[in-house]
Amino acid sequence: MGATSLLHHSLVIAASAAPKSVVCLLSALRFHDVTTQNPSEIWLAIERRSRAPSLDYPPLRVFRFSGRAFTQGVESIAVEGRRVRIYSLAKTIADLFKYRHKVGLDVAVEALRDSIRSGKVKPGEIDPFARICRVQEVMRPYLEALVG
């Protein structure tokens, strides 16, 4: 099983254990094929008051999101015949800036740069999510450097 198919299989297992969760941050970035990062855990967002899923495999890293930060930007994709909820690339980039102290600012900036340069996302697509995540001011200098 290749790295991509192993990731996809792990996403299906995680989604089955926590059907209301959303694949986020580094796992979403890896799924969208925008990073060299290869997290050893599946990164999942759950609603703030939800119970965290417990699995022996794959290992999970759970983040608690609330309100629009949890509900907006969710895509439902088919993986191995199952539905997996995952954040869009634009939402993932905003989330990376929001959680830059956990993932590293360098990872967030690299994802922003690579996504825009490759044409996978436009700055205008990121803006609504940057507003929801309250990271517009943090992202502004990086966006201006890329677009400006």
Phi, psi values for residue 56, rounded to 5°: -75, -40
- What is the structure's pLDDT at 46? 95
CATH architecture assignment, domain 3-147? 2-Layer Sandwich (3.30)
Q: What is the mean pLDDT of the chain?
A: 90
pLDDT above 50 for 131: yes
- Tens digits of per-residue pLDDT, 78-110? 988 889 999 999 999 999 999 999 999 999 999
Looking at beta carbons, which pairs linking 53-60 to residues 24 or more positions away fall under 8 Å? 53/14, 53/17, 53/18, 53/21, 54/17, 55/13, 55/14, 55/17, 57/13, 58/10, 58/13, 58/14, 60/14
